[in-house]
Amino acid sequence: MKTSASAIRGTPKTGRTTTRFGSSEPIVDTTCGTVRGVLQEEIYTFKGVPYGADTGGANRFQPAKPIAWPGIRDALDFGHRSPQDSRESGSSFASFIDPSPMSEDCLALNIFTPSIASAGHRLPVMVYLHGGAFRGGSAGAPFVNGANLARKGVVIVSLNHRLNLFGHLYLGNADGGKYIDAGNVGMLDIVTALRWVRDNISQFGGDPGNVTIFGQSGGGSKVAVLMAMPSAHGLFHKAIIQSSSSALRQATIDEAERNTYYFLAELGLDRRRLAMLHEIPAAVLVSAMLSARRSAGRIDNYRPVVDGRALPCQPFEEPAVRLSSKVPLMTGWCENEQRLLFSGTPAIFQESASEALSDTARVLRVSTPEAQGLMNVYHRSRPADTPGDTYCQVLGDLRYRRTVLGLAERQIQHGGSSVHVYLLKWKTPVRDGLLRSPHTLCIPFAFANIDIPGGITGSEPDRYVLQEEMSEAWVAFAHRGNPNHSSLPYWRPYSLPERSTMVFDSKTFLDTDPLPEERSAFEAYPRYVPAIGEG
C-alpha cells in the first residue's frame, strides 16, 4: 500500500476502526502515514508513532525532518529512548524503568484514547513530557502509562525526544550557521510533536483546540520552556508543572559554550572539524559527554540554551511570562522532594548537627551563620527531624518549593489566567517510611497508576482516595482550566498574600500559605541557579 495523497499534502483521512482476527485493531490515517494500534480494556493504544525522521547521521544536531511511510505501520511498542547514560534510567522502583532500547531514531509518541470516532464530541488532550533533567528519561516507563488516565475522558499523548548532547549541544554559528539550532533541537522536537498533535489528534478523538501540556521534574521545566518559546505559542492552551526544580534556569550562551569546549576537547576535535561529529557512533559521544562532565568539574549545562532565537529569554523573565500569560497554570511540589535522591546514601539522614550544618553551607554556598539560621527555622517547625533530615528538607525546598512558588507568583503578577497551587504531603510507607513525600510521588497519583507493580506508593488503602482526588483534578483542569471537582474542597486560585494551596494528604484540605516561616526564610535567595553541582 502506498502513502496516501492526503498524507503527502498534510491532511489525514478520516479515522477508521476495523476488527481483525477476532480482536479490535484500530487503524488511523495521519499526516505521516497509517498506523495500527490495539484496543485493550476499552482504551485504544498507539505506541511508538513517529513524528519525525531518524535524527542520526546527517540529521544529527539538526531540527527534526519530516517522515512518511507507505502501507500500515504497527504502533504496538514504545519507541526508542534517546541515547543517554544508562544510569539516568535506572531505579530501585521497577515501574520507573523503560526497557526500550536506545537509538537516535527516537522521535515517537504514544496515544491513549477512549474513542477514535470520527464524529461527535472531541476530548481534551493531555501531552505528557517526561522528567530526567534534559539528560535522561523516556515516555515508556510503566508509571506514566496513560491508559488509566484516558479512562477518565481525556486523550493522553506522551513522547520521546532528543536529550543531553543530542538535544542541547550548542554550536552557535559554526560552519556557516549549519548548526544554529543545535543547542535547542531537543525542545524543538517537542514543538514538532505538538504540531503533529494539532494536525492529527482529532483522528484519535482529541480536540486540537484544547491541549494541556504537563510534566514532572525536568518535564515540568520543559513545560515552562515551551511557555517561553514563540514557536510553541498557540500549540497548547493549559499547563501543569509538577515539581520543577531550580534547574528551570536554562543555559546562557557562555555556559553552553563551556560545555561544548570540554566535549570537543574530549573527542580531540575543534569547531573546524564538526563534520566528524556525524560519523562518530552515538555510544562514543555519550561516553565522551560523561568524561567531559568530569573534566568540567561535574558541571553539566546540557539543557535548553537562551540563544535569542528558539528561546529568547529565561522562562521566568517577564517577556516569557507575558507570552503565556493567558495560559491557565497548575503547579505544585511534594513536601520532601530531596529524600528520593538522598535515599541512595541514607547515612545523610543520620548526620550530626555539625556535619549537616557544614553540608548545608557548602551546597547552598552560604556562610555558616546563614546556614545555621535556615536550619533553626526548620528545626522550629519540624522538631522531631534529625539534623540530616533538616539539611535534606532545606535543600529540597530551595530547589523545588521555591521554584514552584516563584512560577506561580510571576504568573499572577503579570496578570492573565488563573494559577492553582498544590502541595503533596501524603507519606509513602515504602522503605519503612524513609522517603516520606518524595520527588516523583505525584506521578502515579496523577496518572491513576498506584496499582502498577514496582511502584512507590505502597499498599495503604487511603491511597485510593488520594488517587481519585488528584487524577480527577488533573482531568478537570484539562477540561476547563480549573482543577475543582466534587471530591475536593473548593480550590481557590493562588493569590498574594493569601497563597491558597491544596494540600493533598490522607485528608485533603485547602491551606493558606503552608509553613510560612520556611517559605519566608528563602526570600533573600535566588530562585533559579546555574547548573553548577547538578551534573
pLDDT tens, residue by residue, 354-391: 999 999 999 999 999 999 999 999 999 999 999 999 99
Decide if 330 is inside a domain: no
Question: Which pLDDT tens digit goes with each residue over 60-112?
Answer: 999 999 999 999 999 999 999 999 998 765 567 889 999 999 999 999 999 99
Per-residue DSSP letter, 24 = E
What is the pTM for the complete model shown? 0.95
Contacts of 120 (CB under 8 A, 6+ apart): none
CA distances, 270 to each of 57, 383, 493 (Å): 19, 55, 52
Q: Kindly state whether residues 118 and 244 are assigned to the same domain.
A: yes
Q: Kindly state whether residues 361 and 508 are assigned to the same domain.
A: yes
Q: Kindly state whether residues 102 and 212 are assigned to the same domain.
A: yes
Number of domains in the chain: 2
Q: Kindly state whether residues 511 and 391 are assigned to the same domain.
A: yes
Domain boundary among the residues 231, 248, 265 is at 248
Decide if 394 is inside a domain: yes
Decide if 150 is inside a domain: yes
Percent of the chain scored above 90 by pLDDT?
A: 85
Question: Which pLDDT tens digit goes with each residue over 486-535?
Answer: 999 999 999 999 999 999 999 999 999 999 999 999 988 877 766 543 33
Decide if 167 is inside a domain: yes
Q: Kindly state whether residues 211 and 85 are assigned to the same domain.
A: yes
Question: Which pLDDT tens digit goes with each residue over 23-53?
Answer: 479 999 999 999 999 999 999 999 999 999 9
Q: Kindly state whether residues 241 and 357 are assigned to the same domain.
A: no
In 114-179, at which residue ranges do the beta strands (DSSP E only) sit? 123-129, 155-159
Domain boundary among the residues 248, 267, 296 is at 248
Closest CA relative to residue 243, chosen from 146, 343, 330, 141: 330
Q: Kindly state whether residues 354 and 493 are assigned to the same domain.
A: yes
Contacts of 84 (CB under 8 A, 6+ apart): 102, 132, 135, 136, 137, 163, 164, 286
Residue 8 has pLDDT above 50, yes or no: no
Decide if 278 is inside a domain: no
Decide if 204 is inside a domain: yes
Distance of alpha carbon 345 from alpha carbon 438, whole angstroms: 15
Distance of alpha carbon 393 from alpha carbon 336, whole angstroms: 6
Q: Kindly state whether residues 210 and 344 are assigned to the same domain.
A: no
Decide if 11 is inside a domain: no
Domain boundary among the residues 199, 233, 248 is at 248
Q: Kindly state whether residues 88 and 223 are assigned to the same domain.
A: yes
Across the chain, mean pLDDT equals 92
Q: Kindly state whether residues 109 and 244 are assigned to the same domain.
A: yes
Boundaries of domain holding 347: 340-521
Decide if 431 is inside a domain: yes
State the CATH number of the domain containing residue 428.
3.40.50.1820
